Chains A and B, each alone.
Chain A
Amino acid sequence: DGGITQSPKYLFRKEGQNVTLSCEQNLNHDAMYWYRQDPGQGLRLIYYSQIVNDFQKGDIAEGYSVSREKKESFPLTVTSAQKNPTAFYLCASSIDYRGVTGELFFGEGSRLTVL
Chain B
Amino acid sequence: EDQVTQSPEALRLQEGESSSLNCSYTVSGLRGLFWYRQDPGKGPEFLFTLYSAGEEKEKERLKATLTKKESFLHITAPKPEDSATYLCAVQSESAEGGKLIFGQGTELSVKP
Query: Contact: A42 with B99, CB < 8 Å?
Result: no
How many residues from B make CB contacts under 8 Å with A?
27
In the bound complex, residues from chain A placing their C-beta under 8 Å from that of B42 are: 108-109
Q: Quick one: which of A42, A56, A90, A103 contacts B97, CB cutoff 8 A?
A: A56
B104 and A90 within 8 A (CB): no
Q: Give A23 Cβ to nearest chain B Cβ, in Å.
A: 11
Q: Kindly state the separation between the CA atoms of A111 and B40 in the bound complex, as whole angstroms.
A: 12
User: How many interface residues does chain A have, given as a range?
Assistant: 20 to 34
B82-112, CB < 8 A from A: 87, 89, 91, 95-105
Q: How near does chain B come to A21, taking the closest CB pair, in angstroms?
A: 13
Instruction: Name the contact of A99 in the complex, choosing from B98, B101, B103 (C-beta under 8 A).
Output: B98
Task: Assess the B102–A97 pair: CB atoms within 8 A.
Answer: no
A/B pair count, beta carbons within 8 Å:
75
Q: Are A99 and B99 in contact (CB under 8 A)?
A: yes
A115 CB to nearest chain B CB (Å): 20
Contacts A43-B102, A90-B44 given; does A102 touch B96 at CB 8 Å: no
Question: Is B49 part of the contact surface with A, judged by Cβ < 8 Å?
Answer: yes
Q: Are A109 and B49 in contact (CB under 8 A)?
A: no
Q: B98 contacts which of A35, A42, A94 (Cβ < 8 Å)?
A: A94
Pairwise interchain contact B45-A102, C-beta atoms closer than 8 A: no
**Within 8 Å CB of A31, what residues of B?**
97-98
Given A40-B104, A41-B104: A103 touches B99 (CB 8 Å cut-off): no
